[in-house]
Structure 1
């Protein structure tokens, strides 16, 4: 089934990925973030669906649910007999959430834990996750997080390195080091927020593969303002909500789900190799595939374009 969607090159990594990447955060159960629980069996079944469905790219992190997302993916891999040929499984190294430690030693512990939980002897793609929790200087210092990642790659435990985080200028600084072959930006390239536009341009100019996370802004661009009042997991300001309500009305007038427009906004950007959509149920895989292929008339895109929130409302 992984031939259903054409694959795109992920920068200069040599990896080719489908335009949608399945996000593994929800399948590990993160009720504080997503507002609901996911049982172990449902999470494992969702991971099986992700690994055997129409997309060949799955993203997780060591820190998602204290490793539970990786454990469930590892159980799914054991169930289906390993990583399918041509499938790209990505994870992230995390700080110690109890102490805040994001040293080189912590990065090594995080990566080694991922290998164990996933049941792998090598990780295809590993991102430095949310380095905004330390200074750039700390991250790049001798014995620091980046040096540890490079060492793990040199030792053959990691094939490709990426950086994943929020603040766009900090992400750009990490890309300029030349260490990273892939980037995840999240919540900052959506229908309503265009903070990452220059960052994405710079990544492409450097040959870095761009992965766009959270095209639904944490849910509001999929479920609508009647159900969700947050953007990027925080309370949205009134102007952002007003713009999204106008987008809802425009999409309804054309009979297009808001979620389809939000997803395809990212998918149709030639600079973006893949777009991450978090899933928590097996059936969400097929639902995401449908959203990715809904026919959207050019007139709707022209209507949505000026509804982007003003720059002062962007995250940056």
Structure 2
């Protein structure tokens, strides 16, 4: 694949590189990351040609946005997405998976004013004058307010030219499919539900988006790490992977080794075979991880590997492959 091919999101003028960088780790997801390392990770991705970056207020209680904006300041021709639905306020963070510089609290708010306030505060933290894509962030328990208040606000902001594309990002496909059916979304970020281990998004969301011309951004393609390094103790869906999941990933890794390709490359490239998928996001916390993601995107995958995965009952034969 060409990781730096630019493709449009839906029918908008917003374009992304097929490979994008997820910047949650730069907020300290699971472990702290220093300022210099965070900047170096974005610099390395940029040096290779990546021009799509995704962050959120949740990531380190605003830390990822501050670091992202500082690293991207003064550059142009990039696409940046962030998220709304959670506000960063003084207090103590309640999310043990996120590390922040100081006492901050994350509060839910999918009201129209909450969306606009979140966007304003994101721009302040970023130090930038624009965000290209704005996602509703994990509205699992807030569907009614997200549809009746947050979505109209995003649509108005798009009409005003404040943002370029309306989106939502979730770890489930069912609600994203309901969002797609409103006809108001340009793209949708599906995390962890269209991967080598979990293709549940293929049952509803991907065909709906293909029919409607909505672009899907595939996140979590390593399923929190188990497809990057399938060892006992690896993470799957943000928690330690069950033994059966580790065993399945290890079986995939052995087949990949026989064909001389890393499992990471196969996991990264797999989602892009579906016509609805515009881009994949790879979470990075260091320049080494950024360089590795680019390298994995460029690895040629032999057709025989896909056939062997199907023959070993590790991949559904009806799933599109590169």
Alpha-carbon contact 2:85-2:108 (below 8 Å) kept = no
Correspondence list, 1:129-278, <5 A: 129-134=137-142, 136-141=143-148, 144-197=149-202, 198-226=204-232, 228=234, 230-278=235-283
SS in 2 for 1:295: coil
2:83 to 57, 70, 92: 92
Q: Deviations over 1:37-86 (max 9, x none)?
A: 101221122223334432121111122111111101111123xx13x22x
Task: For residue 165 of structure 1, report the CA deviation from its aligned partner.
Answer: 0.7
- After superposition, the CA RMSD in angstroms is 2.0
Unpaired stretches in structure 1, ≥5 consecutive residues:
310-316
Contact 1:91 1:125 in 2 (8 A): yes
Correspondence 1:18-167 to 2 at 5 A: 18-31=17-30, 36-78=31-73, 81-82=74-75, 84-85=76-77, 87-96=78-87, 98-134=106-142, 136-141=143-148, 144-167=149-172
Q: Which has the higher helix share?
A: 1
The secondary structure found in structure 1 opposite 2:286 is: coil
Native 8 Å contact 1:51 1:58 kept in 2 = no
**TM-score (normalised: structure 1):** 0.87
Q: Distance in 2 between matches of 1:111 and 1:195?
A: 31
Distance in 2, matches of 1:214 and 1:290, equals 18
- Aligned pair count reads 295
Distance 2:233 2:260 in 1: 19
Shift of 1:227: 5.1
Query: Aligned equivalents of 1:273 and 1:247: distance in 2?
Result: 25
Shift of 1:110: 1.0
Cα 1:6–1:152 shift into 2, 3 Å:
closer
Shift of 1:182: 0.6
- For 1:159 and 1:43, the matched residues in 2 are separated by 26
Distance 1:260 1:274 in 2: 14
Alpha carbons of structure 1 residues 19 and 99: separation in structure 2 relative to 1, 3 Å: closer
Secondary structure at the aligned position of 1:64 is classed as coil
